[in-house]
Amino acid sequence: MLDTIAFDPPFDGETAHLGVPLFAATCGHDGPRLVVAGPEALVRPLAERFWNDRGLEGMNGALILRDDTQDPVFDLPDAVLELERDASVARAFFQVLGHMTALGMLAGRGVPMRRVA
């Protein structure tokens, strides 16, 4: 189960400088921090898609989505993925999943895979 989720926090002129992400998810498993940055018009529907994806429950580390106008340094990332401005939500979703897999953040899409013997 996801331990922490923040989605779509309010932005205004006074808090925008704090670098609050549009979406952040962590689980009880240690792992890398992947920050995904892109245009808000792409990141917002992408965050909605990840919000509804139950496969993140077995994730290692943290997935953070933010607008590309904000500096990802706030999140102390191990890796940063910058999305293309003209990418579709579906393409961006699978691109993020690919990076998560390469970083070892996903184990069987929600099914923890551990060696028994």
What's the pTM?
A: 0.75
* Any domain includes 47: yes
* Any domain includes 115: no
Spans of the chain, pLDDT less than 50: 1-17, 110-113, 115-117
* Any domain includes 108: no
Residue 50: its pLDDT value, please?
Answer: 85
Report the distance separating Cα 91 and Cα 85, nearest Å. 12
The two tokens of residue 69 are: 């106008």
* Any domain includes 23: yes
The answer to whether 92 and 47 are in contact (CB under 8 A) is no
* Any domain includes 110: no
Residue 14: its pLDDT value, please?
Answer: 47
Secondary element (H or E) of residue 61: strand 60-67
How many domains does the structure of the chain reveal? 1
Residue 1: its pLDDT value, please?
Answer: 43
* Any domain includes 91: yes
Residue 108: its pLDDT value, please?
Answer: 57
Nearest Cα neighbor of 16 from 70, 59, 61 is 70
* Any domain includes 107: no
* Any domain includes 50: yes
Domain range enclosing 50: 4-102
Query: What are the Cα distances from residue 111, in Å, to 42, 50, 75, 86?
Result: 28, 17, 26, 33
Residue 19: its pLDDT value, please?
Answer: 61
